[in-house]
């Protein structure tokens, strides 16, 4: 499978910690500094909490159009598969991929949704690879995106005098935006990348979650609930993360090794974009690599489903991969203990 | 606020109520002045609870802690007593 082009989209201007501190006080700096996040993009006006009328599907469309614009020889109607990765789709139904298909005006494509977090984009890429390898698809869009701020920011803004840290930290560490990969089965004229491998792993399946994000389901019902507090929508369990994530990272390293990849093989690594604390922990485990490690979660916040695709797109803008060099893109997630990665080689 | 009054506020409001320890199965009696808050030896609170404590202090007293350093997390937030002394230090009030 080949990567023809990439695209990304971030809504509005970056919202800095200083801007939010005007409304939420000095605790913004205390929490944001702890996680190493300086700014994020939000689909709401941070001064009022009102949304701009633009959601995950719109971000995905803009990221996809960005990717398509870089390969003029590919017509949008050639896209026959759309796989999306998100934990914050516009609706439960219709599916995010179907909405993006409609908004892009693509008539004959198969839309598939992946619901997941920081490794979901790799799950979506693996689905695309299977379709392309079996000949069921020739040209596919893999799109990851999130719109977190419209879910809770207006509520948080209204109660800004009495928030607690658990409420505020989600505004500070998560961001909105999307990334897109345009992939296909034949070598593109513009060079692009060969995607050598895409793999996933589910480690510690018997372990309870390290993070729960509940917008409502058949168990955690929102409609009819007596009261919903923001900290019930996002439940962070840091001790679980501190214990289990190193095990997930080691499992992924073992997986890479079993496929004859060593971290020294990569000139660039796009790693998890969750927060600086996690990156520092992970770097200590991957210390033998000499690659350029790309992280932009400090200026975008964590955009779980879109982060890896978006970060790779930004890496290509800032420090394009040289011909023949390999890049490792890897994601891990704590809602359950998963990893996903792909290895790309610049043509 | 005097030290004893402050210590009670730390125990009852900042730790027990703000961190919703009742939901975690603790009673107020289990939060004494010298109770170890973080780590396996005590209540086993986590890093997010540490942030919650810091934000609670900033909000209630209108004072700025700045960065939640390892020293603050490990030493100043060790027990309700150390937190109370830390608040007094931030306000430049001797613990008498």
Higher per-residue pLDDT: A100 or B72: A100
Same CATH fold assignment for domains A2-184 and A193-346 = yes
pLDDT digits (tens, 9 = 90+) for A129-139: 999 999 999 99
- Model confidence at A229: pLDDT above 70: no
Task: Tell me the shortest Cα–Cα distance from B94 to chain A, in angstroms.
Answer: 25
Q: Is the pLDDT of residue A226 over 60?
A: no
Task: State the pLDDT at residue A288.
Answer: 66
Fill in the DSSP letter of residue A252: H
d(CA A237, CA A64) in angstroms, rounded, equals 34
Residue with tokens 């001797």: B94
B42 falls within a domain: yes
* Residue B32 forms part of a structural domain: yes
Which of the pair, A238 or A69, is modelled with greater confidence? A69
At A213, phi and psi to the nearest 5? -125, 110
Contact residues, chain B, for A31 at CB < 8 Å:
51, 55
For the question of whether the overall pTM of this predicted structure is more than 0.90, the answer is: yes
pLDDT in tens, A86-98: 999 999 999 999 9
Contact B46 A237 (CB under 8 A): yes
Q: Which of B44, B55, B66 sits opposite A165 (nearest CB)?
A: B55
- Calculate how close chain A gets to B13, using CA atoms only, in Å: 13
DSSP letters, A39-60, are EE--SB-TTT--B-S--HHHHH
Structural domain of B80 = 3-90
Burial of A13 from C-beta contacts in 10 A (0-12 / 13-18 / 19+) = exposed
- Which chain A residues touch B64 with a CB distance below 8 Å? 26
Say what the pLDDT of residue B96 is.
57
Interface touch A26/B64, C-beta < 8 Å: yes
Q: A193-346 has which CATH code? A: 3.40.47.10
pLDDT tens string A53-86: 999 999 999 999 999 999 999 999 999 999 999 9
Which tokens sit at A59?
A: 């971000």
B16 part of a folded domain: yes
- State the pLDDT confidence band at A220, using cuts at 50, 70 and 90: confident
Give the pLDDT mean for B61-80: 89
CATH code at B53? 1.10.1200.10
For an interface test with A, give the residue of B13, B17, B48 to mutate (most A CBs within 10 A): B48
Mean pLDDT across the stretch A285-310? Answer: 88
For the segment A269-273, the average pLDDT, to the nearest whole number, is 88
Closest Cβ–Cβ partner in A25, A26, A239 for B46 = A239
pLDDT above 90 coverage of chain A, percent: 73
- Residue B95 located in a structural domain: no
Asked if ipTM goes beyond 0.85, one says: yes
Please check whether the domain covering A2-184 is classified as CATH 3.40.47.10: yes
- Least Cα distance to A340 among A125, A88, A60 occurs for A125
Q: Can you tell me the distance from the alpha carbon of A88 to that of A105, in angstroms, rounded to the nearest whole number?
A: 22
Report the chain A residue with the minimal C-alpha distance to residue B58: A27
* Residue given tokens 């000499």 in the structure block: A290
Is it the case that residue A259 has pLDDT exceeding 80? yes
- The domain tally of chain B equals 1
pLDDT of residue A5: 96
Q: What is the pLDDT of residue A263?
A: 77
Q: Report domain extents, chain A.
A: 2-184, 193-346
Query: What are B14-55's pLDDT values in tens digits?
Result: 999 999 999 889 999 999 999 999 987 889 999 899 999 999
Q: pLDDT tens for residues A12-61?
A: 999 999 999 999 988 999 999 999 999 999 999 999 999 999 999 999 99
Inter-CA distances, A22 with A28, A43, A100, A119, A132, Å: 9, 19, 36, 34, 50
């Amino acid at each position: 499978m080949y990567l023809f082009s990439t695209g990304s989209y971030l809504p509005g201007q970056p919202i800095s910690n200083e801007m939010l501190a005007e409304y939420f006080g000095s605790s913004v700096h205390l929490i944001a500094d702890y996680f190493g996040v300086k700014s994020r993009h939000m689909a709401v006006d941070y001064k009022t909490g009102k949304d701009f009328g633009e959601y995950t599907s719109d971000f995905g469309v803009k990221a996809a159009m960005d990717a398509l614009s870089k390969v003029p020889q590919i017509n949008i109607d050639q896209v026959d598969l759309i796989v999306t990765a998100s934990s914050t789709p516009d609706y439960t139904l219709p599916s995010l991929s179907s909405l993006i298909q409609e908004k892009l005006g693509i008539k004959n494509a198969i839309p598939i949704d992946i619901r997941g977090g920081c490794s979901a984009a790799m799950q979506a890429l693996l689905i695309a690879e299977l379709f392309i390898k079996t000949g069921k698809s020739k040209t596919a869009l893999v799109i990851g995106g999130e719109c977190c701020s419209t879910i809770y920011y207006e509520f948080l803004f209204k109660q800004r005098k009495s928030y607690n840290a658990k409420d505020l930290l989600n505004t500070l560490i998560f961001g909105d935006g999307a990334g897109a990969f345009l992939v296909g089965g034949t070598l593109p004229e513009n060079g692009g990348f060969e995607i050598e491998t895409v793999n996933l792993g589910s480690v510690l399946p018997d372990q309870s979650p390290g993070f729960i994000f509940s917008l409502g389901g058949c168990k955690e019902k929102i409609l009819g609930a007596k009261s919903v507090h923001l900290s019930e929508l996002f439940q962070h369990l840091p001790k679980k993360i501190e214990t289990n994530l190193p095990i997930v990272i080691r499992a992924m390293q073992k997986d890479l090794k079993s496929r004859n990849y060593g971290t020294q093989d990569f000139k660039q690594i796009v790693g998890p974009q969750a927060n600086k604390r996690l990156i520092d922990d992970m770097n200590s485990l991957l210390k033998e690599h000499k690659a350029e490690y790309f992280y932009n979660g400090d200026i975008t916040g964590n955009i779980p489903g879109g982060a890896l695709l978006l970060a790779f797109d930004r890496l290509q803008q800032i420090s394009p991969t040289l011909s023949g060099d390999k890049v490792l893109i890897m994601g891990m997630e704590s809602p359950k203990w998963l990893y996903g990665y792909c290895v790309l080689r610049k043509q | 606020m005097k030290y004893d009054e402050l210590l009670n506020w730390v125990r009852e409001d900042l730790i027990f109520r703000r961190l919703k320890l009742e939901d975690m199965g603790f009673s107020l009696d289990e939060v004494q002045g010298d109770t170890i808050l973080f780590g396996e030896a005590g209540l086993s609170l986590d890093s997010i609870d540490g942030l919650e404590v810091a934000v609670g202090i900033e909000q209630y007293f209108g004072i700025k802690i700045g960065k939640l350093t390892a020293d603050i997390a490990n030493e100043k937030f060790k027990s309700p007593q150390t937190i109370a002394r830390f608040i007094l230090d931030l306000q430049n009030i001797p613990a008498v």
